[in-house]
Amino acid sequence: MSSIISLLRFGFSVLLVFIIAQSSLLYWMMGNNTTQMDRAVNGDFATSILISQMAIEGNKLRRYEKEFFIYVGNEKKMSKYKREWQESYDKLESMLNSALKGDKGQWSKQELKEVENWQVSLESYGSGFKRVMKDVFQGKITDTISANSAIVHAKERFKVLLKGTAVGGELRYKRAKEDIKKIDSENQFLGMVFLVTMVIGVLITLSLFFIIPKAIKTSINSLSISAEKMSQGDLECAIDIDTTKREFRSIAKTLERMRISQKTFLQRIKHLEEKA
């Protein structure tokens, strides 16, 4: 470049572009990581925990149901397991309602549809078991085998929730782990990009650090050599104005005019001496 200022502008413009690109990439990737982290933590991990809790309460219901039927005819034991079953049922119902309202976890439309199916499954099982309990307490069902036979259809409908929560919780947990791996991979990539752009920025700065002083020194040395030649009487070598950096061209032009003036003056003196 013919101008040191142009060189400086070019160098710092490139640096500015790298800084803006680096900042933009960092901002974009941080936003993307935040979204993924939110999905992993609030979406997948939180939801997988909730689904796992649903699965636990669902299996508790089945356990209390079996215990209730084992103690058919024992009022005290039946009352105990009826109460525990109802508490577990209420917890599970509350979890399903929280999921459908969006109070816990993040759910897609398809996932909410699945939760609705779980809710229907729970209600069907609940109404079936309550009907059997009523018959037991009224003495219509008097033994465990009859009670188990009466609850078969309700248990089949309840499998929708039990199987769904078992698979759904594991699926969400795996997806959360995949999100975390992806976030980690993107963070490593971001670190690499940041390092590369930083190295490039340092190289540009070092280049300017060496190129600009060299350009100034070269121009000054060239003009100094030309001035020294002129002081020694060598007026034949013209000053190279075109290749001189723009900031030193006025000095180069001045020296060139001085060289021409001195050369013309010496030629006139020589011509007068020849006439004399």
Tens of pLDDT, residue by residue over 173-227, are 777 777 777 777 877 887 787 788 778 878 877 877 777 777 777 777 777 877 7
Say if residue 196 is in the same domain as residue 217.
no
Query: Quick one: pLDDT at residue 4?
Result: 67
CB atoms within 10 A of CB 176: 20
Q: For residue 20, what are the contacts with CB-CB under 8 A and spacing of at least 6?
A: none
Query: Quick one: pLDDT at residue 91?
Result: 95
Tokens representing residue 131 in the block: 């009907």
- CA distances in angstroms from 186 to 31, 43, 82, 198, listed in the order given: 12, 19, 52, 18
212 CB burial (10 A radius; 0-12, 13-18, 19+): middle
Say if residue 232 is in the same domain as residue 191.
no
Tens of pLDDT, residue by residue over 22-63, are 778 777 777 766 666 666 666 677 788 888 899 999 999 999
Measure the N-to-C terminal CA separation of the chain; round to a whole number of Å: 52
Its domain, for residue 135, covers 4-202
Say if residue 86 is in the same domain as residue 194.
yes
For residues 157 and 128, is the Cβ–Cβ distance under 8 A?
A: yes
Distance of CA 176 to the CA centre of its chain: 14
Say if residue 159 is in the same domain as residue 267.
no
Last residue of a domain, one of 164, 181, 202: 202
Say if residue 131 is in the same domain as residue 44.
yes
Residue entry with tokens 């752009």: 197
Say if residue 62 is in the same domain as residue 152.
yes
Give the number of domains in the chain: 2
**Does the pTM exceed 0.75?**
no
Comparison of pLDDT for 168 and 94, the residue scoring more = 94
pLDDT higher than 80, residue 93: yes
In CATH, what number is assigned to the domain containing residue 140?
1.20.1440.210
For residues 39 and 179, is the Cβ–Cβ distance under 8 A?
A: yes
Alpha-helix runs per DSSP H in the chain: 4-38, 46-70, 75-101, 109-137, 144-150, 152-231, 249-275
Say if residue 34 is in the same domain as residue 140.
yes
Last residue of a domain, one of 169, 202, 235: 202
Say if residue 82 is in the same domain as residue 174.
yes
- What is the C-alpha separation between 164 and 77, in angstroms, rounded? 31
Say if residue 181 is in the same domain as residue 225.
no
Say if residue 142 is in the same domain as residue 107.
yes
Beta-carbon-side half-sphere exposure of residue 252 (alpha carbons within 13 Å): 19
- What is the C-alpha separation between 196 and 205, in angstroms, rounded? 14
Say if residue 179 is in the same domain as residue 70.
yes
Last residue of a domain, one of 181, 202, 223: 202
Query: Quick one: pLDDT at residue 1?
Result: 55
